A and B are shown apart, each in its own frame.
Chain A
């Protein structure tokens, strides 16, 4: 038990929490945008998997992590394109299509990975970190928060960029109107289908990026089903955050700590069955839902396809 609260241990715990939080953050921010525009994006788990697989493949063959992020985001966008076509343009049921996409991508990525690498799991080399001077010298927090890959800082910056978009830009207004009262947006002369398509594709890019981070930075390799529910946690985060990107960040960090604690407690050899420890993040979801979920307000038109002049 002595090792549990040592500086090194706490620092590793926090570092792990950030690493675990980033994919959740990206997924949550993406889902938030879709939901704001009125599309319940259950397929986000599939988008993350596509991003993880293509992101890994991109980084593995090119040797460039950044190219990996790019192909990962591209993979997410490709899946989102299917979602946008079926659910936004044609107006099919968002839940059914979302589940289908997730299950389909689980199988497809596992299959492709098997063809390519058979049963081997090649690793990427360790990532370069960007060390922020001065801040990184703070004990415990410094090494955990300020010795991360550049994309981590960018993801956190994205939180504030999103906040700006939602509150200060015309695009933010359009997105919110598309989710709360699409007919009002339509009669204001803005194409609802196009607005929602933009939102879904952005979600795909962010989820794909999150998946790529998970595989390339978090794990350093791709294994089938690697996302393990991260997309679904993203959906929970987006619902709890009530449209505020900053809340997604807090939520993602909280879950990140839980996930990291799971690993840390196993490493520390605490005598609790690992199954119980692994339930921790999901227990946290339920606790958060009980505490905050009842007041979570969702956009009025969430999940409802828009049809002009429907009667």
Chain B
């Protein structure tokens, strides 16, 4: 009781599992009034799950949540609100067809008339102290994203929240909007509120935070308390966070020594990409002037935070996505005008990260899935008729060779585990005639043993003299396998790093937007 600033909410050893994934692994967290507590981590680090548990959408499997020092099970969003925990979710939680006022009134007892006058008075008071303006009678769908976010913050304030959680709130804002949000957060904590601010942008963390916790693959890997935060300069904080986020951990089971391979420098590149460009879409930045070479036997990694154009790059190379410029040469022959099938014929192979959606037909048997890209071709089809015996013979061979654990060749491929589906894909794409192979997140969602097996398979592919492009969001993976690592950010390659001792820091800095 003597401590001036007691935790409003504290997490103790909180663990949350989803089928096949540990989203949060024994996380401890203290949230205090008057502080902006930044939760920093890449996509998939478990930030959103943590927020889900604080806001009552999900319950922890292990560990406990303390509210005002009392162990509390936050059972529903209503309960979270009653405890004074207000959340501004990454995706807007406003009804677009209702007005701002109606959205703020949502949640009142259904038998009452909405108390519009009361709300107006309350909003006027709050907006005055915060220095924001809100159009109460405008439809939400007519507001900008920044304005919508202010409405959500306002809603939390109207409901007397003591703890405000902002989940990736800057991801959709303009730079000016981000600065305004930062100033607003500062005013809110000065009024005694606690704020949890989730982001994967380092600069925002350093600029707006009082305390920083770093999450990585569901675990909390470090914390910078306010005292240290104030003592360090911005540069020192950033480099400390880089170390926490991308630093090597001890006793990592995935650690593997990268064999030193010598690439024949005189060999002509197998794949040459020059100024490749893809038009931006609504949800992706597109690609601009992507250029790189891959020599025979070389493993080039593409690092970057998810959603920066990785999928577009893979699809553009495979011929699945229209490009607006640039050239792609395979062994010196231009292939940019060829179709998907023709590129495959030439030896370009693409292992998609969407194993069940795009990679396989889930209801088809394992055997047919091996030959999906050869449907109609001899010797497996003759005159349009499926040659069952031929298919089964070759499929059985591939199952043995690639160690696919399947009950039978006739089992629908969707019933296999992710790791075994991946083996089917590997077997199909690495089959005869492969020269250049593109892997997109090849170990995403696999368990450890399948991850290691897939990585070995990729290394072997390069060792056979093929050119390999490995796209991954897992920096460890790239560091353990690649010869060179290029970093993609916002649709362009921002730098390429030789995989030497200092590659980790260099790539890490490139990934978060700092020069290497």
Binding site for B on A (CB under 8 A): 168-171, 173-174, 176-177, 180-181, 183-191, 195, 300, 308-309, 311
CB pair B57 A308 closer than 8 Å = yes
Apart from A173-B114, A187-B77: 13 A-B pairs, beta carbons within 8 A: A169-B114, A170-B105, A170-B110, A171-B111, A173-B106, A176-B97, A180-B96, A181-B94, A183-B93, A187-B55, A187-B87, A300-B96, A311-B18
B89 beta carbon closer than 8 Å to chain A: yes
What total of A-B pairs shows CB separation below 8 Å?
76
CB pair B113 A169 closer than 8 Å = yes
CB distance from B57 to the nearest CB of A (A): 4
The number of chain B residues touching the other chain, given as a range, is 20 to 34
Known interface pairs A187-B87, A189-B77, A308-B57; A176-B95 also in contact (CB < 8 Å): yes
CB pair B95 A177 closer than 8 Å = yes
B109 beta carbon closer than 8 Å to chain A: yes
Contact among A170, A183, A186 with B108 in the assembled complex (CB-CB below 8 Å): A170
CB distance from B24 to the nearest CB of A (A): 13
CB pair B103 A184 closer than 8 Å = yes
CB pair B94 A184 closer than 8 Å = yes
Residues of A within 8 A of B18 (CB): 311
List the B residue with the shortest CB-CB distance to A309: B57
B107 beta carbon closer than 8 Å to chain A: yes
**Most chain A beta carbons < 10 A, residue from B57, B89, B103, B110:** B110
CB pair A174 B97 closer than 8 Å = no
CB pair B57 A177 closer than 8 Å = no
Residues of A within 8 A of B97 (CB): 176, 180
**Most chain B beta carbons < 10 A, residue from A169, A171, A185, A187:** A187
B102 beta carbon closer than 8 Å to chain A: yes
Residues of A within 8 A of B114 (CB): 168-170, 173
**A189, B77: Cα distance in complex, Å:** 5
Chain B 61-102 interface mask (CB, 8 Å, partner A; 1/0): 000000000000000111001100001010001111110001
B262 beta carbon closer than 8 Å to chain A: no
CB pair B58 A184 closer than 8 Å = no
List the A residue with the shortest CB-CB distance to B141: A180
CB distance from B102 to the nearest CB of A (A): 5
CB pair A176 B98 closer than 8 Å = yes
Residues of A within 8 A of B77 (CB): 186-189
CB distance from B112 to the nearest CB of A (A): 5
List the A residue with the shortest CB-CB distance to B88: A187
Q: Which 10 A-B pairs have the closest CB atoms?
A: A189-B78, A188-B107, A309-B57, A188-B106, A184-B93, A171-B110, A181-B95, A187-B77, A189-B107, A177-B95
**A266, B55: Cα distance in complex, Å:** 64
**A168, B96: Cα distance in complex, Å:** 18
CB distance from B136 to the nearest CB of A (A): 14
